Structure 1
Amino acid sequence: MEEVEVPQYFLCPISLQIMRDPVTVITGITYDRESIHQWLISSGTNKAYCPLTKQVIPRDSDLTPNHTLRRLIQAWCAANMSANSIPITPKSPPTKASINKLLQELCMERSQLQVLKKLEGIASSEGENSRRCMAEFGVGKAMVSLITKCFKRNSVYCLEEALRVLNLVIITRVPTIMMNEIEGPDFLDSITWILRCRSDTHKQTIRTLGVSVLKSLVELESSNVLERLKPDLFEAVVWILRDRVSREALKSALHVLLSSCSWGRNKFKIIEGGAVYELIELELNGCPDKRTTELILGVLDHLCSCADGRAKFLGHAAGIAMITKRILRVSTAADIVAVKILASICKFSGTGEVVKEMLRVGAVSKLCMVLQADNEGV
């Protein structure tokens, strides 16, 4: 098949790909929205420079949709769809008016489920630009409000759908208006309630979605969520580990614990929530993959850096044996963390009984093998 030549003015000057959402900046140059957005936010100052003209572009400047060019690209893509190299015809991102209409309908209980499915469809099928627009137009805030209402009514009606939408629209840079909602105590209490939902398959799905939302929240760089996490929320996260809810839920829960460990007293709250015992049990009996093992060891490393964590670790009969067994069997990253855990135990909790246990399970032999492997690699 003969290759189709793409008109030059259909290509984004940054990505050199066909523009899916052409927008014009104040310098008069048109770029794909995603490309110019990333260009602007990557600037370390309050202003950036137009890639082509080198003129100053304030980071908060408007990006004007180029509807004429979009229609031309759509028509050209449709006419050349038989060529394998031609992308799917680009769709327009949702408008503020269309999102506001859906959010107004969301206030009516009889239409909530239908509206949520429409929002999920837009967020899941129309790309990151659409999800960003939805967040900016208040969809995330509306989902937070709806989830909080479900918590206060103790009702799971529409909860799963609202969590799905919120998972899709949570992105690295969340609008301030949404941050005010998700950092509030009511929403964090709602997440705790969700993580404790048990019994049937439907609620297991809700728990998976809930811990995924929590993972996104604690990873937001601008978020103050980490300093507001309560002990009962960490207990609920530990329940996710204990109940083996799903592989996705386990990894999200481990990411939550790992991200939270370095903040204030969270480490002690996690220990009090019973995490050390459950992490060891998960590694012993949960058949984890390599990445899951690395996460488990990473959390244990943080927790064993304090006396309470080491005491809980040594209180498990198989703790030292589990760490020893994982050395040289998982990955270089796992080896480094496992050795750090043993070093912490030896340095601060190295009683005669601990030393005997390390000798009994072969920890000393494993450490010698690590030294030998390091020397051979030099």
Structure 2
Amino acid sequence: MTGARGVPADAPVVVAARRTWVGTAGHGHRALTEVDLAAGALRATLVDTCSLGVADDPADVVLGCCTGPGGNVARVAALAAGAGVAVPGLTVDRQCASGLAAVLVAAQQVRAGEARLVLAGGTESASRAPARAHRTPGGDVPFERAAFAPVPWADPAMGAAADELARRRGVTRARQEAYALRSHARALAAHRAGRLDAETVRLGAPRRALARDERARRLDPAVLARLAPAFSPDGTVTAATASPVSDGAAAVAVVPERVRRDLGAPGLRVLASATVGCDPALPGWGPVPAVRAVLARAGVALDDVAAVEVVEAFAAQVLAVTDALGLDPLGDAADDARVCADGGALALGHPWGASGALVIVRLFSRLVRAGAPAGTLGLATAAVGGGLGVAALVEVVR
């Protein structure tokens, strides 16, 4: 059985997508936990699905989260958002791609015929994440971070890995700074034009609630040029070309095509996805094989894709990936218009467990809310510590 334009009736389609404004850790959302943030995004998404005519409780809530307190954040957030007591929850940790992985899990549940509605996304509160320590006979030792790869594999911190990727792929500091300037300028323009308003929800006390993504600002090229390397003595990545530690959440509603068709609502069909591994020494490279795999799986070329959203963990990483894929957001006019057109994590913020879902929300706004015709393609991708890449190809359906 197929739906409109030959779309399979059980094809997973995103019909609603919302996110919080993103706060810099320790600032705008410092009083909110990962559950508070997730519940706000989930609640707004549930309201949107109800307004479309979906009366069902979600069959599941799937959320990415990297640094939360455990206790199944997705289940707690589902209850906090007002979902029925019968709604379960699944918390996913694929590090910076956790939110995207959660959306893909929801899509698989729908495609398998197990659900008429699944809410998925991600959440992170770096401000409120628990402090951890290793217990040793000599006392507690502060826990800095989990291992991304075991001995004898390389296990670099993400900043040092971005420096190494820039060195190996020839991404200069000047290009990184130019890309950071572009990201912030695009985000500021999107805020001024109100292009982000429909996808966001304000949380917290009225006088303290963020009304925009907190990090976006006007950057001075002269100041950027004077910044010291942030992660390696001879590196090229600085504080301005690395994404900030952030708090935020994003959520989407996924239904089968037959439900979407009955509702008469536009959406984003999850056309194909790919999750791959790469060298743990160069985790930022992961989107390259992931994007190549997802395009091959769908039988389309990158030139056929109208909108591309890359999780901008580091400017060096984005440029290494876009160079390898044949994209040029700093030079080619068409690529400049389709790669992170309203800025990305460098300017909007990078709440780790949520960022992968946030780029799906961005694609929903850029394509569905903006009125792109049926059949228009979008691509979301993220790199992951330990050497992974995740990519999803989506298609507008109307």
TM band (smaller chain) = under 0.3
The higher-RCO structure (CA 8 Å, 6+ apart) is: 2
TM-score (norm 2): 0.21
**Greater percentage in strand:** 2
